[in-house]
Chains A and B, each alone.
Chain A
Amino acid sequence: MTTQLSRRGFLKTAAAAGAVLYVGVQADGAMAASKSANALLNPFVKIDSDGNVIAIVKHFEMGQGPATGLTTLVAEELGVSMDQISYEFAPSDASVYNNLLFGPFQGTGGSTAMANSWMQYRTAGANAREMLIKAAARDWGIDAAELDIQNGQIIGAGNAAPLGEFVTAAADFAPSETPRLRDPSEWKIIGKASTRRKDSPIKINGEAKFAMDVQLDNQMVVMIKRTPQRGGTVASFDDSAAREVKGFIMAQTLPTNHGVAVYAETTWAAMQARNALNVDWDLSAAENRSSQDIRDEIMAALDADPVFNVNQADLASVRSTVDGAAKVVEKTFYFPLLAHAPMEPLNCTIEQTEEGDIVLHDGAQMPTGPHMAYQQIFGLPADKIHINTMLAGGSFGRRATPDADYQVEAGLAFVMTDRSRPVKLVWDREDDIRGGYYRPAFGHKVRVGLDEAGTIVGWEHQVAGQSIMKGTSFEGFAVRDGIDHSSVEGIADSPYTIPGQALGLTDTEKATSVLWWRSVGHTHTAYVMEVMMDLAARAAGKDPVEFRLAYLTGEGDAERKAGALKLAAEKAGWGNAAPGRVQGIAVHKSFGSYVAEVVELSGNLDDGIVIEKVTAAVDCGIAVNPDVIKAQIEGGIAYGIGHAMRDQITLDGGAVEQSNFPDYEPLRISDIKEIETHIVASAEAPTGIGEPGTPPSAPALANAIAQLDVVVAELPMAENGVSFA
């Protein structure tokens, strides 16, 4: 990360209008200075002569906190309080605002917002500080080393002035490749639990504008009637009943032939008109398999030799070791398709300016995706396309599809009009639940051999399911030697040192569109690893925490994972559950962070169980905003547990059976009585937090339920022998 930073170089400029100091990187990496804002000068930090400081946030806000986190980094280095800084979302420009971990691509995902911005945004803030200080030092005739910025004031050697006074003069100084970053002992904001979210005030009074709230003059609303089975096409449609709906404008088959776009004056009119539309589908080439077929294919793959030998183990020898072990623990697992179901249904609005530019208003998770797609759709160069990134009402991965699915739909719907009216594409909840892009179904078969002393001697692990990355634009980056790492992450790279492990993978046939879903492959790999660890510990007659620690003996990775495990166990009072309660534990590393969770249950299998408490410990490096971290762990736990409890997407003859919240029931407030999160103190660089809370949650719950003598190896739990009170 640091190398990429220095290669790019920092630059500064002063905008001609209104004395604005911008500090940012230049596209070609050269350190140039300019007195006017132009296309190259996309900044991270903007300061006007009134001293208003604005952090330009390159990651979209879906609730995970970058509007607060990235702003914190700038404020800390510059020397302003959180009340003295605001934020704006960056425009779409991958040459400047790319995710440093994604290459030349602007986007949010993989819990990377803080990890890739940590040095970049601090450096930007520090450069702004140094340039302002140099300007003040020159004016006051003193050494810049005597000055600092504190609370928005340039102070030192008996002088003081608000930073806004030197914004214009600061542009005379060159930014540095390596400005002085504040020492952790100087930090006033980073690590402080009292820092509040920057986006809270507008989210409690209706002021916050999500993409769904865009209302452009004269806009049309378009909804798509989509093929009920993936791959189906429109044979013909009849809109005579739709024409009776007041506000109906027109209906047109999409150029892809996968649906009919229904245009109307208002959302409600579009909904009604779409309902009234009759479409004849050609389903001859459509997917027509059912969930049972997918499950059968996965189970058959688990019984055969794997196609990929992921860790190049000697499978025959591992098998014979397990066969000959004193004890063998064996389990087959199955995980169903899952929908993301962000609270704000998918939508975006597209318009054309008088100059012929295209503007997209979108809760854009990966702006570069639609930006490139629109160059093709509209035949325009990149600089004629603009993306206004709005707040997103959740995503969990859904707003980032490699093919920019809903933005492309909107683009195609717009292209079919005369472009005189903006077009707002709206999905309803049924579209969302049925609209493809699911966490793929996966199966695992694991056999663990233990010796007389209860030590693992062999671990044969087979994984089968549909690859997320293959066949997408991410294939080149995520697939190596045929192996989609996201199918086996969390096993292949586990910090556990497991003797005699063989890991095999078989891809199954494409059954539906699949997509990363909060924590990607870890959603199923953590479950299997941690349930198996518990089963092995039980077979060995050992305490699950002690048993795991025996395989976490190295330094670094193993040590940090062990640290989280021990802290969670200690804080949860591991082994001392209240009378009538049982506990289960799980620990997992994902996205660079280590999270351990203890679930404590009451109740029983007959009357239903109650999740009384989840205690979590997280090591995500330096805790930039501890309260945001806690919130993400709370949400991540609940997201994992809620789906494990009762959710699945099933197909019947290729068609999705669920349609809305009544049959894809969200976790409710009463489902988890309490969550308590503890943060491991760390001086390491910050790592992910949006996703890592999710992986250990469902296995910790399963391990607690196992104390009641049911090992749940197929999800959802409610369909597999567990009732919840």
Chain B
Amino acid sequence: MAISININGEQRDVDAEPGTPLLWVIRDELKLAGTKFGCGVASCGACTVHLNGEPVRSCQTYIEDVEDAEITTIEKMAEDRVGAAVQQAWLELDVVQCGYCQSGQIMSAVGLLRENAKPTAEDVDEYMYGNACRCATYQRIRAGVLRAAEILEA
């Protein structure tokens, strides 16, 4: 089935059956490999993308439900004011280890900071709960979100 979706500011035609998770359209069809597969059941957050600016798990978002939405992936975050601040904080603190979860972490962190410009450590823990990091970079993720808030305030 041909579907047209809006992703990273471009209108793209994709061929996908209804019921196909957005994740696999993004990765296999559009070859945007920054969005990762970790669990497929909305329990790790590696696949997080933005739908109209809000984080969603793309492994549990179906292609037929996103036709009218604006989809944004990690590849576009450097152009986003909040995204760039989060990325800067991530570099300052060397948050990443293996890095596999970090696209999803950053997409969620941006979602949090858009909603709450001055989060506390508890706010971060609550919001980021669903983003698993098997390398357990959590300490730096927490510090990174707080640092990004500072960067945005400056």
Residues of A with Cβ closer than 8 Å to B?
Answer: 61-65, 196-197, 199-210, 212-213, 215, 246, 266-268, 271, 341-345, 391-394, 396, 428-429, 627-628, 631-632, 634-635, 637-639, 642, 660-662, 666-675
Name B143's closest neighbour in chain A (CB-CB): A674
B94 touches A345 (CB 8 A): no
Residues of B within 8 A of A670 (CB): 125-126, 129
Contacting B37 at CB < 8 Å: which of A203, A345, A669?
Answer: A345
Residues of A within 8 A of B138 (CB): 638, 667-669, 671-672
Contacting B99 at CB < 8 Å: which of A203, A396, A428, A627?
Answer: A203
How close is B50's CB to chain A, nearest CB, in angstroms?
13
Contacting B136 at CB < 8 Å: which of A212, A271, A392, A639?
Answer: A639
Contacting A675 at CB < 8 Å: which of B29, B124, B125, B139?
Answer: B139
A666 touches B134 (CB 8 A): yes
How close is B7's CB to chain A, nearest CB, in angstroms?
13
B90 touches A343 (CB 8 A): no
A62 touches B98 (CB 8 A): yes
A164 to B126, CA, bound (A): 52
A212 to B137, CA, bound (A): 21
A660 touches B43 (CB 8 A): yes
7 A-B pairs besides A394-B135, A666-B132 with CB distance below 8 A are A63-B99, A202-B99, A208-B99, A394-B98, A661-B132, A669-B125, A674-B139
Residues of A within 8 A of B91 (CB): 196, 200-201, 204
A205 touching B77 in the complex, CB below 8 Å, given contacts A197-B94, A213-B33, A268-B21:
yes
A342 touches B140 (CB 8 A): no
Contacting A631 at CB < 8 Å: which of B74, B129, B140?
Answer: B140
Q: Tell me if B13 is interfacial: C-beta within 8 Å of chain A.
A: no
A429 touches B101 (CB 8 A): no
A63 touching B41 in the complex, CB below 8 Å, given contacts A204-B87, A206-B74, A343-B132:
no
Residues of B within 8 A of A65 (CB): 97
Q: Tell me if B81 is interfacial: C-beta within 8 Å of chain A.
A: no
A673 to B120, CA, bound (A): 12
Q: Tell me if B66 is interfacial: C-beta within 8 Å of chain A.
A: no
B136 touches A642 (CB 8 A): yes
B96 touches A215 (CB 8 A): no
Residues of B within 8 A of A673 (CB): 121
Name A268's closest neighbour in chain B (CB-CB): B24
Q: Tell me if B147 is interfacial: C-beta within 8 Å of chain A.
A: no
What's the interface size class on B, roughly?
Answer: 35 or more
A210 to B37, CA, bound (A): 11
Name B133's closest neighbour in chain A (CB-CB): A343
Interchain residue pairs with CB less than 8 A apart (8)? A63-B99, A200-B94, A213-B33, A343-B38, A343-B101, A344-B38, A394-B100, A429-B41
A667 to B141, CA, bound (A): 14
A207 to B75, CA, bound (A): 8
B17 touches A246 (CB 8 A): yes
Residues of B within 8 A of A392 (CB): 98
Residues of B with Cβ closer than 8 Å to A?
Answer: 17, 20-21, 24, 27-29, 31-41, 43-44, 46, 73-75, 77-78, 87, 90-91, 94-103, 106, 121, 124-126, 128-129, 131-142
B34 touches A207 (CB 8 A): yes
A205 touches B78 (CB 8 A): yes
How close is A667's CB to chain B, nearest CB, in angstroms?
6
Residues of B within 8 A of A199 (CB): 96, 99
Name B32's closest neighbour in chain A (CB-CB): A206
A627 touches B94 (CB 8 A): yes
How close is B119's CB to chain A, nearest CB, in angstroms?
12
Residues of A within 8 A of B17 (CB): 246
Residues of A within 8 A of B77 (CB): 205-206
A669 touching B128 in the complex, CB below 8 Å, given contacts A63-B97, A204-B96:
yes
How close is B2's CB to chain A, nearest CB, in angstroms?
13
Residues of B within 8 A of A672 (CB): 138-139
Most A C-beta atoms less than 10 A away, residue of B33, B36, B87, B100? B100
A637 to B137, CA, bound (A): 11
A64 touching B39 in the complex, CB below 8 Å, given contacts A205-B87, A268-B28, A672-B138:
no
B129 touches A63 (CB 8 A): no
A660 touching B126 in the complex, CB below 8 Å, given contacts A197-B96, A343-B134, A635-B137:
no
A594 to B31, CA, bound (A): 45
A205 touching B142 in the complex, CB below 8 Å, given contacts A215-B31, A266-B24, A341-B134:
no
How close is A389's CB to chain B, nearest CB, in angstroms?
14
How close is B96's CB to chain A, nearest CB, in angstroms?
4
Contacting A266 at CB < 8 Å: which of B28, B73, B74?
Answer: B28
B96 touches A63 (CB 8 A): yes
Residues of B within 8 A of A637 (CB): 136
B99 touches A634 (CB 8 A): no
B96 touches A669 (CB 8 A): no
Contacting B97 at CB < 8 Å: which of A64, A205, A666?
Answer: A64
A299 to B50, CA, bound (A): 52
A627 to B138, CA, bound (A): 15
Contacting A345 at CB < 8 Å: which of B38, B125, B131?
Answer: B38
Contacting B98 at CB < 8 Å: which of A267, A344, A661?
Answer: A344
A65 to B98, CA, bound (A): 9
A668 touching B129 in the complex, CB below 8 Å, given contacts A246-B17, A634-B137, A639-B136:
yes
B90 touches A63 (CB 8 A): no
A212 to B46, CA, bound (A): 13
Residues of A within 8 A of B126 (CB): 670
Name B136's closest neighbour in chain A (CB-CB): A638
Name B77's closest neighbour in chain A (CB-CB): A205
How close is A385's CB to chain B, nearest CB, in angstroms?
26
A428 to B21, CA, bound (A): 14
A662 touches B27 (CB 8 A): no
Contacting B41 at CB < 8 Å: which of A208, A268, A661?
Answer: A661
Residues of A within 8 A of B102 (CB): 203-204
Residues of A within 8 A of B94 (CB): 196-197, 200, 627-628, 631
Name A668's closest neighbour in chain B (CB-CB): B129
B90 touches A200 (CB 8 A): yes
A466 to B35, CA, bound (A): 39
B20 touches A268 (CB 8 A): yes
A204 to B20, CA, bound (A): 27
How close is B88's CB to chain A, nearest CB, in angstroms?
9
Name A670's closest neighbour in chain B (CB-CB): B125
In order of increasing CB-CB distance, the 5 nearest A-B pairs are A206-B34, A393-B100, A63-B97, A203-B99, A63-B98
A343 touches B135 (CB 8 A): yes
A635 touches B132 (CB 8 A): no
Residues of B within 8 A of A343 (CB): 36, 38, 44, 46, 98, 100-101, 132-135
Residues of A within 8 A of B90 (CB): 200, 204
Name A202's closest neighbour in chain B (CB-CB): B99
How close is B82's CB to chain A, nearest CB, in angstroms?
14
Residues of A within 8 A of B134 (CB): 341-343, 394, 396, 639, 666
Most B C-beta atoms less than 10 A away, residue of A62, A205, A632, A670? A205
Name B122's closest neighbour in chain A (CB-CB): A670
B33 touches A215 (CB 8 A): yes
A79 to B138, CA, bound (A): 35
Most B C-beta atoms less than 10 A away, residue of A205, A343, A662? A343
Most A C-beta atoms less than 10 A away, residue of B39, B78, B133? B39
Name B17's closest neighbour in chain A (CB-CB): A246
Most A C-beta atoms less than 10 A away, residue of B97, B128, B137? B97
Name B75's closest neighbour in chain A (CB-CB): A206
How close is A576's CB to chain B, nearest CB, in angstroms?
23
B100 touches A669 (CB 8 A): no
